[in-house]
């Protein structure tokens, strides 16, 4: 393997990628990598995965759907977390009347 050519490909791939983070879609690999798994990674990691043939850049629609799913999961987690932290206080009738006086 020609390391100079490999690192040149890495640099070229990284220059073509927009933004700081990129949504990728994985490809099937001989080592057991699953195809179609979406993830968001920094440009440097994305360029390596692309050059190695382990992933491709997601389409605009795939990236939007991925980010929307992440947003919904985060919202769901925050609601469930808030529900877990909810505290219930039981107040007896005499204590309630003391508070009103």
Residue-number span of the structural domain to which 73 is assigned: 3-100
CB within 8 Å of 17: residues ≥ 6 apart: 43, 46, 47, 57
Instruction: State residue 1's pLDDT score.
Output: 73
Q: What would the pLDDT profile of 27-69 be if each residue is shown by its tens digit?
A: 998 888 899 999 999 999 999 999 999 999 999 999 999 999 9
Q: What is the pTM of this model?
A: 0.72
Q: State the total domains in the chain.
A: 1
- CA–CA separation, 95 vs 23, rounded Å? 57
Lookup: tokens for 31: 């080592």
Q: Where on the phi/psi map is residue 32: left (φ > 0), alpha (ψ -120 to 50), or beta?
A: left
């Amino acid at each position: 393997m020609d390391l100079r050519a490999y690192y040149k490909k890495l640099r070229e791939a990284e220059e073509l990628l927009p933004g700081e983070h990129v949504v990728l879609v994985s490809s099937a690999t001989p080592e057991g990598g699953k195809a179609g798994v979406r993830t968001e990674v920094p440009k440097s990691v994305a360029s390596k995965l692309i050059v190695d043939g382990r992933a491709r850049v997601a389409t605009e629609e795939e990236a939007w759907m991925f980010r929307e799913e992440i947003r919904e999961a985060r919202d769901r987690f925050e609601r469930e977390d808030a529900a877990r932290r909810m505290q219930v206080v039981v107040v007896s009738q005499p204590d309630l009347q003391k508070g009103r006086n």
